[in-house]
Amino acid sequence: MALSTIVSQRKQIKRKAPRGFLKRVFKRKKPQLRLEKSGDLLVHLNCLLFVHRLAEESRTNACASKCRVINKEHVLAAAKKSRG
């Protein structure tokens, strides 16, 4: 499995999906439901996209407020925007 990739920022990002974690979370939240085989991969994809959007939004907020660091407020505003 692709464990990590070296990106331009010299950060090691694990591209592996925490399948066990996702399955466990789903089981805990909805024990009566079953998740299909590749379903957790799609859930992981969904999470990736969500996190990506959230990060982009937070970054936009931070840049809008001319801060060099992403603050809690930026993240909150982004979350509010996406979820309401």
Partner 1 sequence: MADHNPDSDSTPRTLLRRVLDTADPRTPRRPRSARAGSCALGTLMWLWNLRGTGLERLRCLGARRALLETASPRKLSGQTRTIARGRSHGARSVGRSAHIQASGHLEEQTPRTLLKNILLTAPESSILMPESVVKPVPAPQAVQPSRQESSCGSLELQLPELEPPTTLAPGLLAPGRRKQRLRLSVFQQGVDQGLSLSQEPQGNADASSLTRSLNLTFATPLQPQSVQRPGLARRPPARRAVDVGAFLRDLRDTSLAPPNIVLEDTQPFSQPMVGSPNVYHSLPCTPHTGAEDAEQAAGRKTQSSGPGLQKNSPGKPAQFLAGEAEEVNAFALGFLSTSSGVSGEDEVEPLHDGVEEAEKKMEEEGVSVSEMEATGAQGPSRVEEAEGHTEVTEAEGSQGTAEADGPGASSGDEDASGRAASPESASSTPESLQARRHHQFLEPAPAPGAAVLSSEPAEPLLVRHPPRPRTTGPRPRQDPHKAGLSHYVKLFSFYAKMPMERKALEMVEKCLDKYFQHLCDDLEVFAAHAGRKTVKPEDLELLMRRQGLVTDQVSLHVLVERHLPLEYRQLLIPCAYSGNSVFPAQ
Residues that bind partner 1 (CB under 8 A): 1-4, 7, 9-18, 21-22, 24-26, 29-30, 32-39, 41-52, 54-56, 58-59, 62, 68-72, 74-76, 79, 83
What is the number of residues in the chain?
Answer: 84
Cα 39 → chain centroid: 16
Residue 74 to residue 64: CA distance in whole angstroms: 10
Element (H, E) at 81: helix 72-83
CB of 64 to partner 1, least distance (A): 12
Structure tokens that stand for 47 in this block: 């999470």
